[in-house]
Structure 1
Amino acid sequence: MVDPIATYNFQTLAVQPAIEIVPGAAETWVAVIPSICEINKPFTLRIKVEDTWGNPTNKAKARLYIKVRGNIKNLPEHIDINPGKFAHEITGLVVDEEGDFDIVLSTADGTLLTKSNPARAMEKPTLKYYWADLHGQSDETLGTNSAADYFSFGRDMAFLDACAHQGNDFQMTESFWQDLNQVTAEFNEPGRYVTLPGYEWSGNTALGGDRNVYFPAEGRTMRRSSHALIESQHDIDTDCHTAAELFESFAKHNEWDVICFAHCGGRYADITMAHDGRFEKSVEVHSAWGTFEWLVQDAFKCGYRVGIIGNSDGHKGRPGASYPGAGWFGAVGGLTCYIMPDLSRETLIDSIKSRHHYATNGGPSGRIIMDLSATFEQPGTVYQDDPALFANSQGVISSEAMMGDIVHLPSGDLQLSLSVTAASPVRRIDLFNGLDHLECHRPYSAEDLGSRIGVLWEGAEYRGRFRSVVWDGTARFDIAKVSSTQAINFFNRDKTLEVSDESIVKWQSVTTGNFAGFIATLQDGMKGSIEIDTPLVKETIALDAIGLEDTVLDASATLPRALRLFRLPDENPNTSVAFEQRLSPLAGRDNPYYVRVTLEDGTQAWTSPVYILRSIA
């Protein structure tokens, strides 16, 4: 409507103006293949192109040439990409021998465009790896585009195996809840794409904080935190105003098949106030809101036995590929890999309940292959349901366990084994026993170090909203010269990293519990010093003092904040790493052994713990 003569008399235009929102030019290529492929069974290569902001774009035109690490049958000599389509599929590919492989796409002159995620071919795998983002919103609540568009994007643009919608409950009318149930039912396709119906219980932190709620089937009752933005009050008697009331209500109504996650968004979850392991199976370590290792640590402090997950919690309707955009978000959305025999709602729910999954912080290298297992000197009793919560929990006598298992091991040591295969080189592997950091393993030694220096900044102001830490700053080299830089976790294109005069690196950056930074390749990399100037850290460090171990410049306040420097090899070929450690579990406490993997390009992954118990109270 317009006020044509400034009389406050508005008239409706006969032709309504419209603005078409379109993607930008092609910039980044993405190739995705299944993480686990069965020998002689067909699989599909999926390809898309993103613009500078991570939007899928249909403006690419290229002839792609293919290189393979491994033996793949039925690959074409080349792939022609023409404008008009957002995603492309090459079907009917087959691997005929066991081993790890990936697919490289390049131009005719050999210019690398992208490399797929790593994959593993197996004879008859009993368990496969499926990727999911189970947390995000659409336009019907606090997001963009419709719920149907949301699920379509997850399947067709992000190439997810599983997806779920989590609208704020105080906005979700009964009508939308019914519509959403219809959408999840229509998109659910076992073997191809699995959906779960659910919502976000959105109580304030003082009442317990945000919780994700999932059902195994449609048609269930929403138990909201409130009806704050819902006009109809006909079902207000089902509201649960605290997280504790929510769990109690599930139990009262025998809804033992409900699954919940605790997460940190606008109203961070306080699991020290309210948690019920019969329903709440995992905590969200990473989302587009940042990285929240403190939430995992809260669980260990309280003795909870939970899994670790990552999701996007995105509001842009883009599950599985949720980039931060131009606001104050500094992280890309996370992913979770669920380890299960096949793709269905039943197996997904079983994987969540048994904590057989691991989290990553998403991004270009987010689909890491990880395997964490334990073998025992003496047999133990392996549980999937927590025996402290379920009296009828049945254990199995075994000499081995996988991530997520709860094991009663009265005596004897264990051997913890981790294998990692990634698209980017591994920088470090950190082993934890709950709150205790046991060891940092790097796939190279001090003798391998060269002229590359890493500078990373990390942290958050506090747990709640507006947690961003501003790290805008410079690094000045007084003698060494900067040959090149690699930006780490610069997903917000308004936040840039630049080099001037071969000696000054300048950047704009924020972190929200995650980290960002750069790797600089130097000439005369042992001479002189580096002067760091940021709002929180101002320090000069001699370059020859920067070595294998991180030099940490601490600026912690309510939560950890720090800037760290370290030296890297000139070349790090270690994209596949195996790590073993002999451990003696402690008595009188849980031993939640888990691993955090950090890649050179800034990707991180967290396994769910293997819980080792000397006794069961």
Structure 2
Amino acid sequence: MTAAALALLGLALLACAEEPDTAPTPGAIPSGSSAKPEIVAMLRAADDAPYHAADAGGRAWLERDEDQLPYSVVSTPDRFRIVFEVGPLGIATGGGIYLQVSPFWDWSTPQTEVSDALGYTQILVDDPSIEFRAATLDQQLLGIEVTGRALVAGERLEILYGAGPAGAMTDRYAERDSPFWVAVDGDGDGVRRVLVDSPTIDVRPGPARTLLFQVPSVARPGDAVRLTLAFVDARRNTAIDFEGEVRFPDAPTGIELPEVLRFEAADRGTRSIEVRVHEAGVYRLVAQSGDLRVDANPLLVSAEGPRVLWGDLHGHTNLSDGTGVPEDYFRYARDVSGLDVVALTDHDHWGMLPLAQHEDLWEEIETQTRRFHEPGRFVTLLGYEWTSWIYGHRHVLYFEDQGRVYDSVEERYETPQSLWKALADAGEPALTFAHHSGGGPIATDWEIPPDPRFEPLVEIVSIHGSSEAYGAPGAIYDPVPGHFVRDALDRGYRLGFLGSGDRHDGHPGAYQRDPPEGGLAAILAETLSREAVLEALRERRVYATNGARILLRTALAGHPMGSEIPVNETGTLSGSLYLSVIAPAPLESVELVRSGRVVDGVDLEGRMEVTLMREVEGLEAGEYLYLRVLQRDGGAAWSSPFFVTE
């Protein structure tokens, strides 16, 4: 087996105004960055590989024994019989068959060495004249090399994955159609190709472990508000088999709550109901099922102030390097996380079947995005991730039903400028967002100014951590100094902040509290529509959290966050800075960041609600100002900056 052969199967499994005139030389590597040109070279080599007609020849399917269920269960040893039938052109001596089990997240690596260990795999053949050599080649990758005579059309072999007493461990995350990727090198030249119809199995969730309870953050007196309740297992998979009751103890006056909410089998673990609120105030609702008692995020009922739409605009499914299918991704966002806005952003060229090369996959994303879009109830955005391993990753969002995947691996779309030009030429409303800019998989190259027509915001926090500033709380792993969001602001870029999950577990909007991991966008818009969301994002009326549903309001000299505020006739700006926070957990502190430095802070002493005023003086053109709020449990929120202009 050649190194090139290994790369070609495992290539996707290593993992996420005026037009600017700064244009890098195509193929140039930014200095001081974490650019990975070797990955781009590998992907292009795979695209240019000389595939033989026998590559990807044959078919494979999964057979379950009589004593087995037709599905698997999360985090449970199981046994899988994958049958492969040789295609019409056969498989030459030196060729092979390959099994790639999903590397996301806990599947056992198939191995042939230790019979009583997890992942032990046997290769069974009916004809003893078939000779082969099987070995683990990489993460969850097994190669079966034909060492004797060539295999002829119609011959079969069985791959018994989990053949030993320990079985093979299934993934921790539930999903439909979890793939067992099978690939074939038909002519023995070291180049293999994946069977697009490789077998799959459904992985079902475990028993209900906890209850998630989400409510809107802002409503008006007299509004009908939606309560979203979902039972989930230990890994936040939807507990689809749950049946039982939920009550609302200590219900406050001013809101109409049912005495009992019944979960039937047909509800598959989730319920969404509307209740009416009559009186202004802050509501902290509690739901109880048996001994399980959980709090919802706070609900502010007020005739004043903007509404908050909670969104997760960045996530993945098994169409690239994540878990689950698009349909279930959108359903989880709506019915479990209770989000208002969501986008699915699978990679353009980072998966077993690259999105940019398989129109049917992109069409499936378009179809499910349209299917779940319900203005006034739930807004879906079409998107994908432009996965540049040179300039940094950006996700692209469209605000209509259709859009195009511009492939970062193609030379004509390999730079941010070429991406923005393509979007401009298409003439459709779209936005791009740099993410994990401070490090992680790859840092953002801030030498290239973001195009203000398409990039008014930056994703400051996600499952990878915070890219706010080097050394800031909760900072991203593998940090690269000079590439954080503050570094971009210090260059004069006017970027608002949003968070999003970048989750690969099929759970958009999920928030892990210990340690805090996640990301949400709090979009300030009065109506729930694509048009209103686009307007708010363009105007930077948005703030970021790491998943905690913190209600944050702020204004400087009467201007909302994200504003560009001109200096007065003296060349400076002074004014009152207003802050209001209503938090789901005790607050630790609030800090004021001015032009790259923390210049003020208040110990909030565990309060859940706080209103503050500060006078800010002597701001000059080119300065920026934003607020960072921290909870004691690690939850955090960042306002979009105020920008001082001439």
Q: For this structure pair, what is the TM-score category when the shorter chain's length is used for normalisation?
A: 0.5 to 0.7
Equivalent of 2:565 in 407, 411, 419 = 407
Q: Which of 43, 51, 54 matches 2:233?
A: 51
Q: Deviations over 1:440-487 (max 9, x none)?
A: 21123xxxxxxxxxxxxxxxxxxxxxxxxxxxxxxxxxxxxxxxxxxx
Q: Which residue of 2 aligns with 1:291?
A: 466
Give per-residue Cα distances to partners, 1:5-28, cap 9 Å, x unaligned. 563476367999986522223222
Amino acid in structure 1 at the alignment position of 2:418: E
CA distance in 2, matches of 1:54, 1:98: 33
The structural deviation recorded for 1:403 is 0.9
Distance 1:318 1:90 in 2: 18
Partner of 1:599: 631
Change beyond 3 A, Cα 1:167–1:322: farther
Aligned residue pairs, count: 438
Alignment CA distance shift 1:412-1:332 (3 Å):
closer
Cα pair distance change 1:201/1:585, threshold 3 Å? farther
Could you tell me which residue of structure 2 aligns to residue 117 of structure 1?
297
Shift of 1:72: 3.9
Q: CA deviation at 1:82?
A: 5.5
Q: Structure 1's 417 and 69: CA in aligned 2 closer, same or farther, altered over 3 A? A: farther
One of 346, 353, 359 as aligned partner of 1:167: 346
Q: Which amino acid aligns with 2:402?
A: G
Q: 2: CA distance between counterparts of 1:437 and 1:35?
A: 28
Q: Which whole-Å deviations, capped at 9, do the CAs of 1:270-302 have from their partners, x for residues lacking one?
A: 223342222111111111122211332122121
TM-score, normalised to structure 1's length? 0.66
Change (3 A) 1:87 1:406: farther
Q: Distance in 1 between matches of 2:338 and 2:308?
A: 14
Kept in 1, the 8 Å contact 2:433–2:457? The answer is: yes
- What's 1:451 paired with? none
Cα distance change, pair 91–50 in 1 and its aligned pair in 2 (3 A): closer
CA RMSD in angstroms, aligned pairs only = 2.8
The match for 2:596 among 435, 440, 446 is: 435
Q: Which residue of 2 is the match for residue 416 of structure 1?
A: 577
Match of 1:11 in 2: 156
Deviation per residue, 1:167-226 (Å, 9 max, x gap): 21122133322332222222211001111112211111x3x2111111221333332212
Shift of 1:314: 1.5
Query: Residue 498 of structure 2 contacts residue 520 of structure 2 at CA under 8 Å; is this kept in 1?
Result: yes
Deviations 1:234-254 (A, max 9, x none): xx8xx4111122224434x26
Which stretch of the first structure deviates more once superposed, 18-27 or 427-436? 18-27
Retained in 1: the 8 A contact 2:284–2:297? yes
Task: Tell me what 1:582 maps to.
Answer: 615
On the 8 A contact 2:263/2:271 being kept in 1, the answer is: no
Report Cα offsets for 1:503-541 as digits up to 9, x if no partner: xxxxxxxxxxxxxxxxxxxxxxxxxxxxxxxxxxxxxxx
Is the contact made by 1:165 and 1:197 (CA closer than 8 Å) also made in structure 2? yes
Match runs of 1:356-367 below 5 Å = 356-362=541-547, 366-367=548-549
Alignment of 1:565-580 (within 5 A): 572=606, 574-580=607-613
Give the distance between the partners of 1:404 and 1:593, measured in 2 at CA.
10
User: Residue 96 of structure 1 aligns with which residue?
Assistant: 278
**Which segments of 5 or more consecutive residues in structure 2 lack a partner in the other structure?**
1-82, 84-122, 132-150, 161-179, 181-198, 470-483
Q: Matched residue of 2:219: which SS?
A: strand
User: CA–CA distance in 1 between the matches of 2:305 and 2:577?
Assistant: 21
What is the distance in 2 between the residues matched to 1:102 and 1:586? 38
SS at match of 1:244: helix
State the distance in 2 between where 1:144 and 1:212 align.
18
- Taking structure 2 as the reference length, the TM-score comes to 0.63
Any conservation in 2 of the 1:102–1:116 contact (CA below 8 Å)?
A: yes
Match of 1:516 in 2: none
Structure 1 residues 82-231: aligned runs within 5 Å: 85-89=267-271, 91-106=273-288, 113-123=293-303, 127-170=306-349, 171-172=354-355, 173-204=358-389, 206=390, 208-227=391-410
Letter in 2 for 1:142: D
Aligned runs of 1:225-264 on 2, under 5 Å? 225-227=408-410, 239-251=412-424, 253=425, 255=427, 257-264=429-436
Contact 1:296 1:308 in 2 (8 A): no
Q: Counterpart of 1:165 in structure 2: which amino acid?
A: L
Instruction: Please tell me whether the aligned partners of residues 132 and 162 of structure 1 are also in contact (alpha carbons under 8 angstroms).
Output: yes
| Counterparts in 2 of 1:182 and 1:121: CA distance versus 1, 3 Å | same
Could you say if the C-alpha distance between residues 407 and 62 of structure 1 is closer, same or farther in structure 2, counting changes exceeding 3 Å?
same
Pick from 270, 274, 281 the counterpart of residue 445 of structure 2. 270
Q: Equivalent pairs: percent with the same residue?
A: 28
Query: Does the 8 Å contact 1:314/1:322 carry over to 2?
Result: no
2: CA distance, partners of 1:585 / 1:242: 39
**What residue identity is the alignment partner of 1:149?**
D
Query: Equivalences for 1:518-537 in 2 at 5 Å?
Result: none
CA 1:163/1:27 → structure 2, altered by over 3 Å: closer, same or farther?
Answer: same
Which secondary structure state, in structure 1, belongs to the residue aligned with residue 448 of structure 2?
coil
Mapped contact 1:201–1:211 kept (Cα < 8 A): yes
Show the counterpart of 1:459: none
Q: Matched residues in 2 for 1:216 and 1:308: separation?
A: 19
Distance 1:65 1:296 in 2: 44
Q: Distance in 2 between matches of 1:309 and 1:419?
A: 18
Q: Is the 8 A contact 1:70 1:99 kept in 2?
A: no
**Residue 145 (structure 1) shift:** 2.0
1:416 Cα shift?
0.6
Q: Mean Cα displacement is larger for which, 78-87 or 264-273?
A: 78-87
* Alpha-carbon contact 1:372-1:416 (below 8 Å) kept: yes
CA distance 1:429–1:95, shift in 2 (3 Å): same
Cα pair distance change 1:322/1:580, threshold 3 Å: closer
What is the match of residue 306 of structure 1? 495
> Partners in 1 of 2:372 and 2:611 — Cα distance?
38
Q: Is the 8 A contact 2:449 2:493 kept in 1?
A: no
Matched residue type, 2:435 = H
Deviation at 1:611, TM superposition (A): 1.6
Structure 1: stretches of 5+ with no match in the other structure = 228-235, 376-399, 445-571
Equivalent-residue separation in structure 2 for 1:169 and 1:112 (angstroms):
42
Aligned equivalents of 1:84, 1:25: Cα separation in 2: 16
1:340 partner amino acid:
A
1:586-610 Cα deviation digits (max 9, x unpaired): 32x4232111111111111111112
Runs of 4+ in structure 1 deviating by more than 6 angstroms, as ranges, are 12-18
In structure 2, relative to structure 1, the CA distance for the partners of 1:196 and 1:114 (3 Å cut) is: same
Range with bigger deviation, 297-306 or 86-95: 86-95
The structural deviation recorded for 1:74 is 3.1
Change (3 A) 1:40 1:331: closer
Query: Partner amino acid for 1:275?
Result: P
Shift of 1:37: 1.6
What's the CA shift for 1:58? 3.2
Distance 2:609 2:545 in 1: 17
Alignment deviations for residues 127-172 of structure 1 (CA, whole Å, 9 cap, x no partner) = 3111111111112222222222221221122211111111211221
1:348 equivalent to 2:533? Answer yes
Distance change >3 Å, CA 147–CA 307, structure 1 → 2: same
8 Å Cα contact 1:54/1:323 also seen in 2: no
Match of 1:321 among 510, 513, 519: 510
